Structure 1
Amino acid sequence: MTDREGGPARAASASLNPAAMRKQYRREGLDERALAAGPMEQFARWFAEAARDGLYEPNAMIVSTVAADGAPDSRTVLLKQYDRRGFVFYTNYSSRKGADLDGDPRVALLFPWHPLARQVRVTGTAAKVPPEETAAYFRTRPHGSQIGAWASDQSAVVPGRDTLDRAYADVAARHPEGVEVPVPPHWGGYRVTPHTVEFWQGRENRLHDRLRYVRLGDGDGDATGGDTPGWRVERLAP
């Protein structure tokens, strides 16, 4: 730690120069000929590899939204489902991200798989999943997580940790282990329908491979988001 004069801690921080932190990526490249027909199939391939390689929470993704005043905001959430329709995550609808998405459904996702020198970048639009889909997922959550969905007014300012602990204890007393917890009306899922999906593979000398699927508009093929024609692939300069 440091004293008020900054001594040892200041010296330590000065020695950590982020500009000098470099890694040489030496993994196999990404070739257009090896890509799946659609982005969700390609994502499934990479997601399986990330899980097989033992990455910690490979389903962790950064979700970026835009507020009413145009200010961007980002946070990490967990992907809970993906299929030909898109990517699904769950949250409190009254949270900051929920308020942002109510005003502007445009969203960006980022899967930062650093140990594999890979990223997946997604742009698209978010829409709430049907209530029955939310309920089906909610039933699979651990009891404590179900209680937490009721106890936390996500993104609201609270006086202290004790406020959260008391709220949790109150809900847990009403719904002890073994008693069904109802789905909170303010809690549920969003499905992000992708418009672009970029697969980024680190390569030597910073000449990375960046292949981006771009969803075609009406009249340009199947634009349902499926793994059939309806996407074009672009190579981007790194």
Structure 2
Amino acid sequence: MSTVLAQKLWCTLWSAGSLGRFAQHMSNAAHQVSCIGSEEQRVYEEPHVIFQNWLMAAQKEAPQVRPRLACMATVDKSGEPVTRLTSIEEVNSHGITFFTTLGSRQAGEISANPHVSLHFNWAPLMRSVRIAGSAHQLTEEQVRDQFRRFPRHVQMSITHGPRYAAAEWQSRSGFFARIGQRLNTWLGKQPEEIPMPHNWGGYILTPSLYEFGMLSGEKAGRTRVRFRRCLEMPRGTRVGHVQAERQDWVYDSCDEN
């Protein structure tokens, strides 16, 4: 089972573009597993790295679907699920960061119940990712650092609203405005810094589950590979079709018709 599962992960998650070659790779499982080097071994064991690579592929091959935009699910005070679209920023081994107004309904629901789920759907690539975990507020320093990295028009939109930002952008794009900007640059005059709103904040989602889904064609089934965080299970423990190659993640795979 371990050979088949490792080969599935290698073929389905790292196939360069064509999921249709999945069956061909399956017939050569032993050879594929023997060719997995230390870097690839680390990659398929770390779900956040798989997600980073899928995200980069989606941004390159299907930018029109806005790959960083996810459907976020939270839970309100009555226990009902609430969904909205949220744009994510950084993805690393610690989690996934996103930003919002601290006085918003979204922020209030996260403060009351930190359990959050993100769902990414990249239809042109026939791929989807579901990530679930707990969200915790970032420090003011972390939020300010990210705010400074946003483009100026995004800062304007956060501070004054999208209409003001659009009007300001339009005024700066005129002929005389561009001349003035070049003069300021030549004189060494920096544009005025936009202050960050006092109620602007951010969260980091610490995942406890990654679920990768992929289709191999209109009439073919869906393959799902699921990673679950399990700190108690020692390295190498296997129960049924669940495999734990790392101490903190276990994974399984299934095919749906």
The answer, yes or no, to whether TM exceeds 0.5 is: yes
**1:37-58 Cα distance to aligned partner (Å, 9 max, x none):** 1110111221122122133221
Tell me the CA shift for residue 178 of structure 1. Answer: 2.1
Query: Which of residues 103, 127, 131 is equivalent to 1:94?
Result: 103
**1:181-216 Cα distance to aligned partner (Å, 9 max, x none):** 222221121111100000001134352100000001
Q: Does 1:42 align with 2:50?
A: yes
2:141 corresponds to: 132
| Partner amino acid, structure 2, of 1:46 | W
Q: Which has the higher helix share?
A: 2
Query: Which of residues 194, 208, 211 is equivalent to 2:222?
Result: 208
8 Å CA contact retained: 2:153, 2:165: no
Q: Does 1:232 align with 2:250?
A: yes
Cα separation, 1, equivalents of 2:130 and 2:208: 11
8 Å CA contact retained: 1:119, 1:201: yes
2:200 corresponds to: 187
Tell me the CA shift for residue 165 of structure 1. Answer: 5.3
Tell me the CA shift for residue 166 of structure 1. Answer: 7.7
Give the fraction of aligned pairs with identical amino acids, expressed as a percent.
26
**1:46-84 Cα distance to aligned partner (Å, 9 max, x none):** 112212213322111111111111121111121110000
SS at structure 2 position matched to 1:68 = coil
Query: Which of residues 154, 159, 173 is equivalent to 1:145?
Result: 154
Moved more, 51-60 or 120-129: 51-60
Cα separation, 2, equivalents of 1:128 and 1:28: 43
The structure whose RCO (Cα within 8 Å, separation 6+) is larger is 1
Unaligned 5+ segments in structure 1 are 1-24, 153-163, 170-176, 222-226
SS at structure 1 position matched to 2:44 = coil
Give me the CA root mean square deviation. 3.0
In the superposition, the TM-score normalised over structure 1's length comes to 0.70
Cα separation, 1, equivalents of 2:205 and 2:165: 31
Cα separation, 2, equivalents of 1:28 and 1:50: 19
1:67-106 maps to which residues of 2 (within 5 A)? 67-106=76-115
SS at structure 2 position matched to 1:178 = coil
Q: 1:59 to 1:168 in 2, by over 3 A?
A: closer
Moved more, 82-91 or 198-207: 198-207
Cα separation, 1, equivalents of 2:163 and 2:95: 35
| Partner amino acid, structure 1, of 2:252 | E
Q: 1:166 to 1:40 in 2, by over 3 A?
A: closer
In the superposition, the TM-score normalised over structure 2's length comes to 0.65
Cα separation, 2, equivalents of 1:219 and 1:197: 17
